Every structure is written in structure tokens, then in C-alpha cells.
């Protein structure tokens, strides 16, 4: 990794994840017997920061954890993965963010997040990390922290000449101030439906149609369509549609974050958008075809 190269700054969430595996996801009021569980360090911000490093780029993480066991584990993981976490604030009181994800037998999942310390991110954290923003080539944002904090980070990145990527997940309509500072918005079919205001079919053509609508509001709009592929439309009229790489699905957990991490790293390395999209598509395919790291604990 070239330590003198411009960095990717990831401003966002850190969660301690608990992964549960079962034959299916429970319906309302239903209890089912699971097969195993395991802990994992995550949060969309944390996952994307690690993915940036795995893609060969420098990454600075700006986030917040509590002074608890989960927070200490999350910080150690960033250290172990080579992420610069000097600007991750440790907050006294409260609790670190966490989530529970339940996987079914087909590798799909549903999750509940408890944001905790992530909701404490603010302009204060942007100011504390001003040196990181000044050296950034790309800023990555998600919707697991307050919109106002994202606005402050995006505006700091724009002043420094960095490109701003917003992964608008979980689905939330960006404020006008945030939308105005975003260069590339990345959403899945569900999030695209919320932002575009029309039903979106999870197909390559459906993703392309949604991206066309979103490109009216953003310089570039990327819509991922799961196992169908990814589509991108720019405000200048460029359209890119890439079919998914067919692999044996093991787990979809973190696929979107792998996509974002590679996209950001590639753009920070001055790749063209089409090249970065192709690399990101391949990174997501590689991730879904391998088991989650760490040993599962059988029930």
C-alpha cells in the first residue's frame, strides 16, 4: 500500500455484529431453532473501511464507539485490518453500536441495528479530522449516522476537492444540503424505490431505469440489483450496465460494503467510473461466494 497516495476517508458507522444462522428467518410471533451464531466486527462504515484497505488503498475511518467491550473490540479490529482509526472518537457513557443479523438457509438475511454511539457523530468529529479530509481523494458516507453529520463531512470533503460517495443505506431520503454535496449515490433496488419514488424491479433493466431517474438529482447514480448486476447513469447521459458474475452464493452479508470499498479505492486511484464499477462488481461477487470469517458457535 502506498502510504503517500491520497486516502479514502470513510465517515460512518461501527457496529459489533452478532450473526445468527437458521433454516429460515422467523415470521411475526414465531420462534425457530437456529444452527449457530458468531460475532463479527461491522457497521457499514467499518465494513467499507476494511474493504477499501483490502482493495489496496489507504483508508482513514472517522466514527465513534463507546468505552465498552464492543468498542474496544471494534477499535482492535480496525488496527488489525490496517485502517487508520486515529479519528474514531471514544465516548464515555452509553454503548457502542451493535446489530443482530439472521441468515436463512439460502444465504439471505435480515438485520436489526442499534446505533448507540454512532448517533453521537457530529461536526465536532469532522473538525477533529480536518487533516484527513484535506488529504482525501474520496469520501464515503452511509445512512447509519445522523444526516447533519454527513452534511458536515461532505462539505468538508468538497472544500478539499474530494469526490463524495453516498451509500444511501439504510433507506433514507438525504436532506437537500447533503444531496447537493454528493457526487455519486449508490443504492440497492429497495433504496432506489424510496429515492426515485417509483417501483423498482430487481433486474438489470429495472436498475437502469431507476438510475436514470436518480441521475436527474445526482452527478452519477448507481443502482445495484443483487444477483442481476449493477447499473449506473450519469447526469451527462452516460449509461453503464454490468451483469452479475455468476457464483455459488454462500452469504450476501457485506456484499454491498465490499462493492463500495472497491469502488472508492478504484476511484481514489484515478480509475474511470466504468473501470471502478467493473472492479466493484467483481469484489462483491467474490465476497458472496465465501463464508463469513471466524468460527461459528453451534447451538
Domain of 175, CATH number, reads 3.40.1190.20
Question: Quick one: pLDDT at residue 103?
Answer: 86
What is the arithmetic mean of pLDDT over 14-18? 95
pLDDT digits 0-9 by tens, 171-219:
999 999 999 999 999 999 999 999 998 888 888 999 999 999 999 999 9
Is 257 part of the annotated catalytic residue set?
yes
Domain coverage including residue 272: 7-25+34-182+245-298
Grid cell for residue 63: 466514527
Check whether 159 has a pLDDT greater than 90.
Answer: yes
Asked whether residue 233 is assigned to any structural domain, the reply reads no
What pLDDT does residue 299 have? 55
112 domain residue, yes or no: yes
* Average pLDDT of the chain to the nearest whole number: 91
The structure's pTM equals 0.91
* Mean per-residue pLDDT, 70-87: 97
Q: What is the pLDDT of residue 253?
A: 62
Phi-psi region of 10 (alpha: psi -120 to 50; beta: other; left: phi over 0): beta
Q: Is 228 part of a structural domain of the chain?
A: no
Inside any domain, residue 100: yes
103-107, 159-163, 285-289: which range is least confident on average? Answer: 285-289
226: number of Cβ within 10 Å = 19
20 strand-pairing partners: 37, 102
Coil, helix or strand at residue 172: coil
State the catalytic residue, choosing from 17, 68, 257, 278.
257
237 in any annotated domain: no
**Structural domain total, the chain:** 1
Range 146-149, long-range pairs (CB < 8 A, 24+ positions): 146/119, 146/121, 146/122, 147/172, 147/174, 147/175, 147/178, 148/122, 148/123, 148/175, 149/11, 149/121, 149/122, 149/123, 149/125
The CA-based diameter of the chain, rounded to the nearest angstrom, is 54
141 part of a folded domain? yes
Does residue 219 lie in a domain region? no
- How remote is the C-alpha of 255 from its chain's centroid? 9
C-alpha atoms less than 13 angstroms from C-alpha of 32 in its C-beta half-sphere: 17
What percent of the chain is modeled with pLDDT above 70?
92
Q: Is 16 left (phi over 0), alpha (psi -120 to 50) or beta?
A: beta
Q: Is residue 84 part of a domain?
A: yes
Amino acid at each position: 500500500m502506498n502510504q503517500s497516495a491520497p486516502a479514502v476517508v470513510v465517515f460512518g458507522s461501527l457496529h459489533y455484529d452478532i450473526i445468527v444462522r437458521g433454516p429460515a428467518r422467523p415470521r411475526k410471533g414465531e420462534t425457530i431453532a437456529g444452527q449457530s451464531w458468531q460475532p463479527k466486527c461491522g457497521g457499514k462504515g467499518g465494513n467499507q473501511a476494511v474493504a477499501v484497505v483490502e482493495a489496496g488503498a489507504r483508508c482513514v475511518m472517522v466514527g465513534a464507539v463507546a468505552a465498552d467491550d464492543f468498542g474496544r473490540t471494534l477499535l482492535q479490529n480496525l488496527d488489525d485490518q490496517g485502517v487508520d482509526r486515529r479519528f474514531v472518537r471514544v465516548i464515555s457513557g452509553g454503548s457502542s453500536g451493535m446489530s443482530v443479523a439472521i441468515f436463512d438457509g439460502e444465504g439471505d438475511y435480515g438485520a436489526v441495528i442499534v446505533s448507540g454511539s454512532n448517533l453521537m457523530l457530529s461536526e465536532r468529529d469532522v473538525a477533529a479530522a480536518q487533516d484527513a479530509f484535506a488529504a482525501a481523494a474520496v469520501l464515503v458516507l452511509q445512512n447509519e449516522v445522523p444526516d447533519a453529520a454527513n452534511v458536515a463531512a461532505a462539505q468538508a470533503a468538497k472544500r478539499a476537492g474530494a469526490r463524495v460517495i453516498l451509500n444511501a443505506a439504510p433507506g433514507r431520503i438525504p436532506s437537500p444540503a447533503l444531496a447537493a454535496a454528493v457526487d455519486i449515490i449508490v443504492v440497492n433496488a429497495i433504496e432506489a424505490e424510496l429515492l426515485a419514488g417509483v417501483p423498482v424491479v430487481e433486474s438489470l433493466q429495472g436498475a437502469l431505469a431507476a438510475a436514470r431517474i436518480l441521475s436527474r438529482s445526482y452527478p452519477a447514480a448507481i443502482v445495484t440489483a443483487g444477483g442481476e448486476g449493477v447499473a449506473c447513469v450519469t447526469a451527462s447521459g452516460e449509461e453503464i450496465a454490468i451483469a452479475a458474475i455468476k457464483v455459488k452464493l454462500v452469504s450476501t452479508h457485506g456484499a454491498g460494503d465490499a462493492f463500495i470499498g472497491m469502488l472508492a479505492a478504484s476511484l481514489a486511484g484515478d480509475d474511470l467510473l466504468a473501470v471502478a464499477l467493473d472492479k466493484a462488481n467483481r469484489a462483491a461477487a467474490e465476497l458472496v461466494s465465501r463464508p463469513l470469517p471466524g468460527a461459528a458457535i453451534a447451538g
